[in-house]
Chains A and B, each alone.
Chain A
Amino acid sequence: MSFRTGLCATGARRPARVLAGVLAAGSLAAIAAGPAGIASGSTKAGPPAGSITVFSQGDVNVENLWQKVLIPRYEKKFPEDRINLVFTTNSAENTDVYDELAASAKAGKSSSFDLLDGAVPAEAAPAGLLTPITTSEIPAASEVDPSAFKVVDGDAIPLRGSEVLLAYNSQAVKNPPKTLNDLISWIHAHPGEFSYCNPSDGGSGAAFVEAVLSKYTPAAENLKMQLGYSPSAEKYWAKGLEVLKSLTPDVFQQQYPNSNTGVITLLASGAIEMGTVWSDQGTTALDDGELPSVIKLTEITPPLEGGPDYLGVPKNIPQAKKELAYQFINWALQPDQQVAIVRAMHGTPAIEFKYLPAKTAQLFADYSTSPELPYSANTGADMNSKWTSVVG
C-alpha cells in the first residue's frame, strides 16, 4: 500500500510505508478510542444522535476546514451530535490509520474511526475496507460526477476537489500557452523560466510528468494505469520520458524543487515566469499575498491531473455509527456546505458545478469538469522511479 496525498495543499505524492507505522498505530488508536468509546448507538427513530470519530490528514488549511468550518456548522445543525476529530499534518500517520483499519477488520473488531478523510480512503477502498456508498443512504451522492467513483470502486465519496493548474507571471507572459504542446514549446523557447517540482516530492510536479507521459500513451492503456496497476503499459512511457529529459536543460537551474511550495517560492521571487501549482495552494498563496497578483492561474488542454479528496466509512463499525457518518456526508455535500468548503479551501466542489449557486459556479467557469485522473498509487511509484532514473 502506498499513499498519494496529492489533493490538498501538502500535495506530496509520497507513498507512506507500513512497517514504520506499526508501533505508532497503537498510540493513535488509543487516542481515538477514548472519546469514541463512550458513545452508544441510537435506538430511537428519527435522525441518529451520538458522536463519530473522524480521522483527517493534510496541511493546516485542511485542519482549519474541519475545526473552523465543518465541525461548528455541523454541530449547530445537529446539536445532539458530536464530531471527535483526530487530525495530523504528518502524512506518515496515514499508514498508522490504515494499519489500524486493516488490523481491526482482520481481527473482526470495530475500527476506532467512523469516518476517514485525506489519503486513506482512496487506498482503503480497493482493499475492500470501506462500506459501499449508495444513494439510498446518501441521497446527495447523485449530485457527484459519477466518474469520481470509478477509482474507488464506489466505496468512497468526494468531499472536495483540487486540480493542478499552470501559474504564470502575467507581466512577463502576455500569451500563456493554451495546450500541453504549446507549453512544451514555450519551455524550450524560454530557457530557465519554467519549473515543476520533483514528482516524488509534490503532486503538482507529478501532474506535469503524468500529462507528458500520457500524451504518448494510448488512452485505454493510460486508463488502466490510473484505475489500477498495469506494469506492461509502462512501456509507452519511454517517449514521454525522453521529452521530459529534453526539457531539463531549459528548466530553471536544471534543477527540480523538492516540494510544491518550492515552485511557489520561485514564482514569488520572480526567478521563474511559469510553473505548475495546485489550484487550492496557488489561490491561497495569491489571497495571502505570498504570490504577487501578477501571477495568474490557468488551465491547459488537456487538463493536468486533479481530483477529489475522498471520505470513506469503515466497513467494520456499528450500524449506528455508519448512519451518523452517512448523515454527516450527506450534509457536507449540500450546496451551502460545498460553497463554504470552496471558500475555505479555494478548491473545487465535490458536487457538479451545476448544483452550486450560480455565483459560486461562475468561479469555476475556466475549470475543466473532468481533469485528468491521477495515476494509481503503484503506477505513481513506478512513474517517480522512472523519472528519477531517466530525467532527474
Chain B
Amino acid sequence: MKAALRRGGYLLAASPPVALVALFIGVPIAVTVIYTLGHLGGPNAAVSSIALHQVSAGDRLLTFGAYREVFDEPNFRADLVATVWVTAASVGIVLLLAWTIALFARLSGRRVAGILTSLAVVPLFIPVVIGSYAILQFWSYGGFMKTIAHAVGLSGFPALGFTLGGVVLAEVWVSLPFAVLMISSGLQAVPDSVFEAARDAGASTLQAAWSILLPMNLLPTIIATCFTGISILGSFTVPYLVGPTSPNLLGPLATETFQSFNQPQQAEVMSMVIFGLAIVVALPYLWATYRSNRDTATS
C-alpha cells in the first residue's frame, strides 16, 4: 500500500513536465505529421490558406504525395546525402579529438593537459554565429589560412569557406566542448586502481586504455556521439553561414523552402526526414540508457 502510494506520488510529480512536453512538443508534432500527410484543414487551415504547391489527401485517409514530391527533387536528395556524410564525418572527428584530449589529460595529469582541456571548451562560450562567421573569414578565399599558405608557396591550399569541408570544420568547433566535457569527466571517474591493476598485470598503456578505459567510459561516449550527431543533423546557423549554395545541409534547405519558397508542407516533410534521421542516431543512446538503468536496478 505504502509502495503504491509512493509510486502514485512519483507519477504525480512527473506529470506536469510530461503534460508540458505533450502539449508544447507533442501536439505541434502531431499537427505537423498530419499536414505532411495531406490534411490541410483544422489546425493547419491558417498555414494552408497561404502556402503554395500543397498536396491534399482529399477524401482519402492520407497521402504520401508531399513526400514523393520532395524525394523526387534531385536538390533534396543531394542535400540529404550531404547531411548524412557531414554528420558522420563531424561526429567521427569530434570523437577522435575529444578522446585524444581526454585520454591525454587522464593519463598525463600534467598542467598542460588541464590547459588543453580548458582550451577545448572555449567554443562553448562563443556564440555559434560569431564562431561560424570567424571560421568563414579565416578559411575563405581571401582569408588568413589561404593568404599564409600562398605566402609560403602553397598556392593549391584549399579555401574551405563556402564548402562542406568548411561546414565539417565549423561543426567540429561547435560540438567539441560538449564531447570533451562528457568524455573527460567520464574518464576521470574511472578509479586509478583499476587502471593500475591492469598495468601491473603487464598491459601496456594503450592496451589498458583500450580494454579498461574504453568499456568503462562507453556510456558517456555514446551520449556524446548521439547528442553531437542530432545537433549537427538539425543545424542551421553553421551550414547557412559557412556552407555552399548547394548542396548544403537539410536545415538551411528546409528553412529556405519554408520562408523563401512559401512551401511549408514540403519544408515540414524535410523536417520529418531530419526527425527520422535523429531517431536513428538516438537509438544507441536509448539502448545504452536502458542497459544502464537495468544494471542499476538489478545491482
Q: Please list the residues of chain A having a beta carbon within 8 angstroms of any beta carbon in chain B.
A: 1-2, 13-19, 22, 198, 200-201, 253, 255-256, 258, 269, 271, 377-378, 381-382, 384-385, 388-389, 392
Query: Max chain A CB contacts within 10 Å: which of B46, B142, B159, B162?
Result: B162
**Are the C-beta atoms of B264 and A17 separated by less than 8 Å?**
yes
**Are the C-beta atoms of B261 and A1 separated by less than 8 Å?**
no
Contact residues, B236-270 vs A (CB, 8 A): 240-241, 244-246, 256-264
CB B138 to nearest CB in A, in angstroms, measures 14
CB A104 to nearest CB in B, in angstroms, measures 16
Residues of B within 8 A of A388 (CB): 75, 246, 256, 261
CB A202 to nearest CB in B, in angstroms, measures 11
Which among A17, A22, A389 is the interface contact of B258 at CB below 8 angstroms?
A: A17
Residues of B within 8 A of A389 (CB): 73-75
CB A23 to nearest CB in B, in angstroms, measures 11
> Known: A253-B141, A388-B75. Is A381-B50 also a contact (CB below 8 A)?
no
Residues of A within 8 A of B246 (CB): 388, 392
Determine whether B52 belongs to the interface, using a CB cutoff of 8 Å to chain A: yes
Q: Please list the residues of chain B having a beta carbon within 8 angstroms of any beta carbon in chain A.
A: 46-47, 50, 52, 73-75, 141-142, 159, 162, 240-241, 244-246, 256-264
Residues of B within 8 A of A378 (CB): 52, 262
Residues of B within 8 A of A271 (CB): 141-142
> Known: A198-B245, A382-B52, A392-B246. Is A17-B46 also a contact (CB below 8 A)?
no
**Are the C-beta atoms of B46 and A200 separated by less than 8 Å?**
no
Give the interface SS of chain A, mostly helix, strand, loop or mixed: loop
CB A212 to nearest CB in B, in angstroms, measures 17
**Are the C-beta atoms of B260 and A381 separated by less than 8 Å?**
yes
**Are the C-beta atoms of B261 and A381 separated by less than 8 Å?**
yes
Residue of A nearest to B253 (CB): A388
Kindly state the separation between the CA atoms of A253 and B139 in the bound complex, as whole angstroms.
14
**Are the C-beta atoms of B162 and A253 separated by less than 8 Å?**
yes
Kindly state the separation between the CA atoms of A125 and B73 in the bound complex, as whole angstroms.
34
Residues of B within 8 A of A13 (CB): 260
Residues of B within 8 A of A2 (CB): 50, 262
Kindly state the separation between the CA atoms of A21 and B244 in the bound complex, as whole angstroms.
29
Kindly state the separation between the CA atoms of A255 and B263 in the bound complex, as whole angstroms.
24
What are the nearest 7 A-B pairs in CB distance? A200-B260, A381-B262, A385-B261, A384-B260, A256-B245, A392-B246, A255-B162
Query: Max chain A CB contacts within 10 Å: which of B52, B258, B261, B263?
Result: B261
**Are the C-beta atoms of B260 and A392 separated by less than 8 Å?**
no
**Are the C-beta atoms of A15 and B259 separated by less than 8 Å?**
yes
Residues of A within 8 A of B73 (CB): 389
Residues of A within 8 A of B258 (CB): 17
**Are the C-beta atoms of B244 and A255 separated by less than 8 Å?**
yes
**Are the C-beta atoms of A18 and B47 separated by less than 8 Å?**
yes
CB B48 to nearest CB in A, in angstroms, measures 10
Kindly state the separation between the CA atoms of A19 and B47 in the bound complex, as whole angstroms.
6
Kindly state the separation between the CA atoms of A168 and B241 in the bound complex, as whole angstroms.
25
Residues of B within 8 A of A269 (CB): 142
Query: Max chain A CB contacts within 10 Å: which of B50, B257, B258, B259?
Result: B259
Kindly state the separation between the CA atoms of A128 and B89 in the bound complex, as whole angstroms.
52
CB B186 to nearest CB in A, in angstroms, measures 39
Q: A381-B263, A385-B261, A388-B246 are in contact. List 7 more A-B contacts (CB 8 A).
A: A2-B262, A14-B260, A15-B259, A15-B260, A198-B245, A255-B245, A389-B74
Please list 23 pairs of residues, one from A and one from B, whose beta carbons are closer than 8 Å in the complex, sorted by A's number.
A1-B50, A2-B50, A13-B260, A14-B259, A15-B259, A16-B259, A18-B46, A19-B46, A22-B46, A201-B260, A255-B245, A256-B245, A258-B245, A271-B141, A378-B52, A378-B262, A381-B52, A381-B262, A384-B261, A385-B260, A385-B261, A385-B263, A388-B75
Kindly state the separation between the CA atoms of A14 and B261 in the bound complex, as whole angstroms.
9
CB A344 to nearest CB in B, in angstroms, measures 29
**Are the C-beta atoms of A382 and B141 separated by less than 8 Å?**
no
Residue of B nearest to A206 (CB): B260
CB A16 to nearest CB in B, in angstroms, measures 7
CB A20 to nearest CB in B, in angstroms, measures 9
Kindly state the separation between the CA atoms of A377 and B142 in the bound complex, as whole angstroms.
36
Residues of A within 8 A of B141 (CB): 253, 271
Kindly state the separation between the CA atoms of A203 and B262 in the bound complex, as whole angstroms.
16
**Are the C-beta atoms of A258 and B240 separated by less than 8 Å?**
yes
Kindly state the separation between the CA atoms of A17 and B47 in the bound complex, as whole angstroms.
8
Kindly state the separation between the CA atoms of A255 and B246 in the bound complex, as whole angstroms.
8
**Are the C-beta atoms of B262 and A18 separated by less than 8 Å?**
no
Residues of A within 8 A of B245 (CB): 198, 255-256, 258, 392
Kindly state the separation between the CA atoms of A274 and B3 in the bound complex, as whole angstroms.
77
